Amino acid sequence: MQNTPLVTALLVNKTLNRRRFHVPAHAGLPLGNYFRALSQQLGFSADLLAVDLTELDGLDVLSIPEGCIAESQALTAERYGVAHTFYSINGTSGGLHACLLASFQPDDAVLIPRNAHRSIIAGLVLAGLNPVWCEPIWHPDWGLWGGVSPETVEQAFKENPAIQGVIITHPTYEGLATDLEAIAKLCKTHNKRLIVDEAHGALFVWHKAFPLSACELPEVISADAVVQSPHKTGGSLTQSAWVHLPKGSAISARRLQQALNHLQTTSPSYLLLASLDLASAWLASVDFQQAVQWQLLRIQRLERQLQGVPSVRLLRKTHLPVLAGGRPALDETRFYLRHATLSGETMAELLETERGLSYESCNPYGALYLTSFQHEEADFQAFADGFSWIHQYAIAEETQQKMPFKLVEQVLFTMPEVVLSPRNAFFHAEVETVDLAEALGRISAETIVRCPPGIPVLLPGERIQPSHLSLLGQSGTVTVQVIVQ
């Protein structure tokens, strides 16, 4: 049995049966009358509310952990083979913010692929960093951005020696891995920090069928921080995440704790913390190995079933270049599918409304579905049936056209000139809205994301150039918020 110190401490607290003269005010009971019925319908039962606690005697303190939280974090660190693990109750977003604060000095330049998650932009504002944007790999067969190539990173280091560190997204939302080892080696050789946004990679260390995790890099080329959202893939409650400092990290544990303490609430939810304790133990258990083995078998069967549907194409690792080290370049528990003629949005919406299959995300080219170790045989079968149905539907609707699976040309996109850092742009007081035609040469005050290109066209502080205007014009944008200089 795996140890769960936080859950044990909560269970002990429950047995004490004390009268509660402390927060939270619901005191472990559903709210009165009408609201009691509503909360019970929602499942806010007295059982659940009884453990909705925050820091109390015997339950440790998240900002200075010495008891059950410290023990649970240490166990997770041991299970992941890293030097330290810290629990975040504000997702990977909060964990990344703390990493940026703890790793860099104000005005440092940091290399970031343009498809980075938006929490990184907030981190740049908080830490006062200057982004050096680079282009990730474009996959025209799928209409997706992937990881960043080692060549792109090396070139950026040559062109911009002031870069102090790199933030990479590994894997991407759709499960595409980055050549971690090559980038980690480059970072060590050039003495740059490496922060890995592994929000979708909490399972990677647990099975060789997954891409390599940054936690598994050898100590001599270790990443400096790895942030994961077990709430996305590992079974903990929404919002809960953890930050790992691998052995060999250049970030001091004291400094990361300090940064987290500046950002996190002083009333952490023990539902979230206990769920991290449980997920960590579950992932390290034999039960999980069995569950994932079962999931992988069902996935293989589903792949075969989908191969029999001619108008549907499923992204698999065989479509991607092999990465060094023999681990897959794709998390194949994620199903990104294209339909020959239907847009990703239409396919996803039809399958949701007509077949009850809810999706994770979609774009004009394809849709993303996440399989889980919690899915049952019937879920996998419903998925396969849904895609057979969409094939028949498209034939009946005569949407099968002559050019199936059109390649998605990469949109001509100019990486904008960063005039003001995200922080300076954020604190710039005066902003005006101008017609698109008048925006040329001005500095954007807003984030504008369009698909295509599926990455931010403009971020606050960036100069608006002719190619940005034509891209925004195509998507029907008529006005832009710009900074008044």
Ligand X SMILES: Cc1ncc(COP(=O)(O)O)c(C=O)c1O
Q: Is 233 in the site for ligand X (CB under 6 A)?
A: no
Q: Which CB atom, from 195 or from 306, has the smaller least distance to ligand X?
A: 195
Q: Which CB atom, from 93 or from 257, has the smaller least distance to ligand X?
A: 93
Q: Which CB atom, from 128 or from 201, has the smaller least distance to ligand X?
A: 201
User: In angstroms, rounded to a whole number, what is the distance separating the alpha carbons of residues 471 and 451?
Assistant: 10
Considering only residues 64 to 83 of the shown chain, the ones binding ligand X according to CB under 6 A are: none
Task: Work out how close the CB of 103 gets to ligand X at its nearest, in angstroms, rounded to a whole number.
Answer: 16
Considering only residues 265 to 284 of the shown chain, the ones binding ligand X according to CB under 6 A are: none
User: In angstroms, rounded to a whole number, what is the distance separating the alpha carbons of residues 33 and 37?
Assistant: 7
Q: At what angle do helices 118-127 and 91-103 cross, to 10 degrees?
A: 40
Q: What is the 3-state secondary structure (H, E, C) of 313-336?
A: EECCHHHCCCCCCCCCCECCCEEE
Interacting stretch for ligand X, rule CB under 6 A, among 2-10, 87-95, 345-353, 412-420?
87-95
Other beta carbons within 10 angstroms of residue 17's beta carbon come to: 6
Q: Is 225 in the site for ligand X (CB under 6 A)?
A: no
Q: Which CB atom, from 115 or from 421, has the smaller least distance to ligand X?
A: 115
Tokens standing for 443? 């500095």
Q: Is 244 in the site for ligand X (CB under 6 A)?
A: no
Q: Is 92 in the site for ligand X (CB under 6 A)?
A: yes
Q: Which CB atom, from 298 or from 334, has the smaller least distance to ligand X?
A: 334
The set of residues, in sequence order, having a beta carbon less than 8 Å from that of 276 and lying 6+ positions away, is 6, 72, 76, 87, 230, 236, 240, 242
Matching residue, tokens 């996998």? 380
Q: Is 331 in the site for ligand X (CB under 6 A)?
A: no
One-letter amino acid for residue 297 of the chain: L
Which of 39, 54, 119, 295: binder of ligand X (CB under 6 A)?
A: 119
Q: Is 145 in the site for ligand X (CB under 6 A)?
A: no
Strand partners of residue 139: 144
The set of residues, in sequence order, having a beta carbon less than 8 Å from that of 288 and lying 6+ positions away, is 206, 282, 373
Binding track over 184-213 against ligand X, x by CB under 6 A: -------------x-x--------------
Q: Which CB atom, from 228 or from 311, has the smaller least distance to ligand X?
A: 228
Which of 5, 30, 91, 460: binder of ligand X (CB under 6 A)?
A: 91
Task: Work out how close the CB of 198 gets to ligand X at its nearest, in angstroms, rounded to a whole number.
Answer: 8
Tokens standing for 4? 């769960």
Q: Is 214 in the site for ligand X (CB under 6 A)?
A: no
Interacting stretch for ligand X, rule CB under 6 A, among 48-56, 91-99, 148-156, 184-192?
91-99
Half-sphere exposure for 197 (CA within 13 Å, toward CB): 28
Task: Work out how close the CB of 241 gets to ligand X at its nearest, in angstroms, rounded to a whole number.
Answer: 5
The size of the chain, in residues, is: 485
Per-residue b or e along 19-48, where b marks 16 or more CB atoms closer than 10 Å to that residue's CB: eeeeeeeeeeebeeeeeeeebeeeebeeee
Task: Work out how close the CB of 240 gets to ligand X at its nearest, in angstroms, rounded to a whole number.
Answer: 8
Q: Which CB atom, from 101 or from 483, has the smaller least distance to ligand X?
A: 101
Task: Work out how close the CB of 430 gets to ligand X at its nearest, in angstroms, rounded to a whole number.
Answer: 31
Task: Work out how close the CB of 228 gets to ligand X at its nearest, in angstroms, rounded to a whole number.
Answer: 9
Q: Which CB atom, from 256 or from 394, has the smaller least distance to ligand X?
A: 256
Number of residues lying near ligand X (CB under 6 A): 11
Which of 73, 97, 95, 102 lies closest to 85 in space, CA to CA? Answer: 73
User: In angstroms, rounded to a whole number, what is the distance separating the alpha carbons of residues 229 and 206?
Assistant: 15
The set of residues, in sequence order, having a beta carbon less than 8 Å from that of 102 and lying 6+ positions away, is 225, 251, 252, 255, 256, 258, 259
Tokens standing for 269? 């939810």
Interacting stretch for ligand X, rule CB under 6 A, among 88-96, 125-133, 291-299, 318-326?
88-96
Q: Which CB atom, from 169 or from 280, has the smaller least distance to ligand X?
A: 169
- Pairing mode of beta strands 455-458, 144-145: unpaired
Task: Work out how close the CB of 273 gets to ligand X at its nearest, in angstroms, rounded to a whole number.
Answer: 15
Q: Which CB atom, from 197 or from 277, has the smaller least distance to ligand X?
A: 197
Which of 435, 424, 442, 438 lies closest to 483 in space, CA to CA? Answer: 442
Q: Which CB atom, from 171 or from 386, has the smaller least distance to ligand X?
A: 171
Q: Is 169 in the site for ligand X (CB under 6 A)?
A: yes
Which of 86, 142, 145, 173: binder of ligand X (CB under 6 A)?
A: 173
Task: Work out how close the CB of 99 gets to ligand X at its nearest, in angstroms, rounded to a whole number.
Answer: 12
Which residues would be at the binding site for ligand X (CB under 6 A)? 91-93, 117, 119, 169, 173, 197, 199, 229, 241
